[in-house]
Amino acid sequence: MATANAEASSFQQLPMKSHIAVLPSPGIGHVTPLLELSKLLVTHHQCHVTFLNVTTESSAAQNNLLHSPTLPPNLHVVDLPPVDLSTMVNDQTTIVARLSVNLRETLRPLNTILSQLPDKPQALIIDMFGTHVFDTILENIPIFTFFTASAHLLAFSLFLPQLDRDVAGEFVDLPNPVQVPGCKPIRTEDLMDQVRNRKIDEYKWYLYHVSRMTMSTGILLNTWQDLEPVTLKALSEHSFYRSINTPPLYPIGPLIKETESLTENEPECLAWLDNQPAGSVLFVTFGSGGVLSSEQQNELAWGLELSGVRFVWVVRVPNDASAFAAFFNAGGDDDATSYLPEGFVSRTRERGLVVRSWAPQVAILRHASTGAFVSHCGWNSTLESVANGVPVIAWPLYAEQRMNGTTVEEDVGVGVRVRAKSTEKGVVGREEIERVVRMVMEGEEGKEMKRRARELKETAVKSLSVGGPSYEMRAAMANVCLFATKKQCTKKPVQRVDHETEVKG
């Protein structure tokens, strides 16, 4: 990873090997890793990449990222024409359903769009919610699926069609954890939001997409061997995954932002960090889409104040209805300080910095003053923390984040999950916040988490370096793009009988 920029200039003068089109779902959490992959394909593997930007319901953060003047040569962003979703989605439409409808409509003219490119793509990379292309695209080219979450979630997702057939009721009502083949079982309380109610479109869309991933030429994973060794072994060797014809797997992570453009106020944030002692600052943010309720935000403020630690806190306007209210509005600039307890900003001014809405997350996590990270545990944020050797206080909000929080605490050993009292109706109290903050920032447990995080950081660097496992997997995928043909599905994707008509109509 450290040598990427140094090597880029020497590679840029070489002839391009292949032209690859990349198509992420909208949302900064999907766009970021696919953009980082695109940069590496250009700078390290002599590819020409056309990055297809879904503009419908794209956020300010997504648009700023994709239209940055710092993108390398031979990486070209093409904005796809916007579509009208006003009669198809509303404010109550959940994330996966909304993304799926958006992509279904946006991709209708995909063949025409690809045919109008100066050069015909030799391969297409989609993310997990772009499986519409298997029905849409006419070109006989390899199609790879980039799974933007953990290998553990991929294992569960590939198992989901079988689970859907075997279980009659709701998965959350099962008496025991879900036994994922060859992997650590998943507690029912940790199951992702998309599978907690099988009667709604969110579940049906998710099942639709994951049941079609075996149609891919290969599946790219944003992870590496030392982070998820048991799961990667199961996906490669367990008889179940062999029986469903799981495509070749390419663990190519951790793909995280190498650089990020700073907005007008962000240099001030980094300058503030420059004046703090090494490892003394707690970074608090809940990703590109996460939002706390009013009560929860108030408790967090009091918990930070009681802990006495230094902090940088990215504050958003609270939302009592939805924990992902900012998902389609990432990068906004609303001033949320008026929602904090009266006097909080002035009382903590000497040791805390409140940032509104958005901050340069990677730059802060890399800063020597940062000692720990309060995170929603989205997979990108989890990787950014681990790859920079920073322990995590896991505060899951939605999607698969509860699984990730359990992973960083129990499997990887780089963090601790906050716990809400049952009497608080899901609200994490100020005393619990104070406790876990002091544990990680000052306690012996925190020292061990930091040691383990530094250890994983070293393995991440080695994996991404030239000749490392992730580098070689990426090179192998780029080579397949030159010679493979589109993998044809020899059997209908496993799904519920009524599923496709319900979600596609």
pLDDT tens figures, 319-356: 988 776 655 554 455 678 889 999 999 999 999 999 98
At residue 325, the pLDDT reads 65
**Cis, peptide link before residue 254, omega less than 30° from 0:** yes
Per-residue model confidence as pLDDT tens digits over 233-284: 999 999 999 999 999 999 999 999 887 666 666 788 999 999 999 999 999 9
β-strand partners of 53: 79
Per-residue model confidence as pLDDT tens digits over 31-74: 999 999 999 999 999 999 999 999 999 988 888 889 988 899 99
Q: Where does 235-348 show beta strands of DSSP type E? A: 249-251, 281-284, 310-315
What is the chain's mean pLDDT, rounded? 89
313 vs 162: CA distance, rounded Å? 43
Active site residue 127: yes
At residue 140, the pLDDT reads 85
Task: Give the fold, CATH level 3, of 266-459.
Answer: Rossmann fold (3.40.50)
- Give the helix/strand (H/E) hosting 133: helix 133-136
192 vs 159: CA distance, rounded Å? 14
Q: What homologous superfamily is domain 4-150+214-253+465-489 in, according to CATH?
A: Glycogen Phosphorylase B; (3.40.50.2000)
Q: Which two tokens stand for residue 354?
A: 């409140």
Q: Which of 19, 30, 45, 238 is the catalytic position?
A: 30
β-strand partners of 144: 125, 218
CA angle 59, 61, 66 (to 5 degrees): 100
CATH 3.40.50.2000 location in the chain: 4-150+214-253+465-489, 266-459
Q: Which of 44, 45, 48, 127 is the catalytic position?
A: 127
The length of the chain in residues reads 505
